[in-house]
Protein backbone atom coordinates (compact mmCIF):
# COMPACT_ATOMS: atom_id res chain seq x y z
CA UNK A 1 0.00 0.00 0.00
CA UNK A 2 1.21 3.50 -0.81
CA UNK A 3 2.33 5.77 2.00
CA UNK A 4 0.03 8.72 2.68
CA UNK A 5 1.21 12.30 2.57
CA UNK A 6 -0.36 15.18 4.43
CA UNK A 7 -2.78 15.47 7.32
CA UNK A 8 -6.04 13.57 7.70
CA UNK A 9 -9.13 15.19 6.18
CA UNK A 10 -11.29 17.31 8.47
CA UNK A 11 -14.27 15.50 10.01
CA UNK A 12 -16.38 18.41 8.72
CA UNK A 13 -15.38 17.68 5.12
CA UNK A 14 -18.16 16.24 2.91
CA UNK A 15 -17.66 12.53 2.18
CA UNK A 16 -17.14 12.92 -1.59
CA UNK A 17 -14.51 15.61 -1.03
CA UNK A 18 -12.80 13.54 1.67
CA UNK A 19 -12.55 10.56 -0.70
CA UNK A 20 -10.85 12.68 -3.36
CA UNK A 21 -8.54 14.17 -0.73
CA UNK A 22 -7.60 10.71 0.57
CA UNK A 23 -6.87 9.49 -2.96
CA UNK A 24 -4.70 12.54 -3.62
CA UNK A 25 -2.79 11.97 -0.40
CA UNK A 26 -1.98 8.39 -1.42
CA UNK A 27 -0.62 9.27 -4.89
CA UNK A 28 1.29 12.47 -4.08
CA UNK A 29 4.57 10.59 -3.63
CA UNK A 30 4.20 8.81 -6.95
CA UNK A 31 2.69 11.62 -9.01
CA UNK A 32 2.38 15.15 -7.63
CA UNK A 33 0.53 16.20 -10.80
CA UNK A 34 -2.09 13.52 -10.28
CA UNK A 35 -2.48 14.60 -6.68
CA UNK A 36 -2.92 18.21 -7.80
CA UNK A 37 -5.61 17.20 -10.29
CA UNK A 38 -7.46 15.26 -7.61
CA UNK A 39 -7.22 18.15 -5.16
CA UNK A 40 -8.61 20.48 -7.81
CA UNK A 41 -11.60 18.13 -8.24
CA UNK A 42 -12.02 18.08 -4.46
CA UNK A 43 -11.96 21.86 -4.32
CA UNK A 44 -14.51 22.14 -7.16
CA UNK A 45 -16.81 19.68 -5.37
CA UNK A 46 -16.43 21.61 -2.12
CA UNK A 47 -17.22 24.95 -3.76
CA UNK A 48 -20.31 23.53 -5.49
CA UNK A 49 -21.58 22.53 -2.06
CA UNK A 50 -21.43 26.09 -0.71
Give me Rg for the CA atoms of the chain: 11
How confident is the model at residue 26, as a pLDDT? 95
pLDDT tens-digit profile, the chain (50 residues): 567 888 999 999 999 999 999 999 999 999 999 999 999 999 999 999 88
How confident is the model at residue 5, as a pLDDT? 83
Angle at 38 between CA 36 and CA 43, to 5 degrees: 90
Q: Which domain, by its residues, includes 20?
A: 15-48
Is 35 inside a domain boundary?
yes
How confident is the model at residue 2, as a pLDDT? 61
Is 7 inside a domain boundary?
no
How confident is the model at residue 3, as a pLDDT? 74
Number of domains in the chain: 1
Amino acid sequence: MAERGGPDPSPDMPEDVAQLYEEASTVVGLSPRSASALLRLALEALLKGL
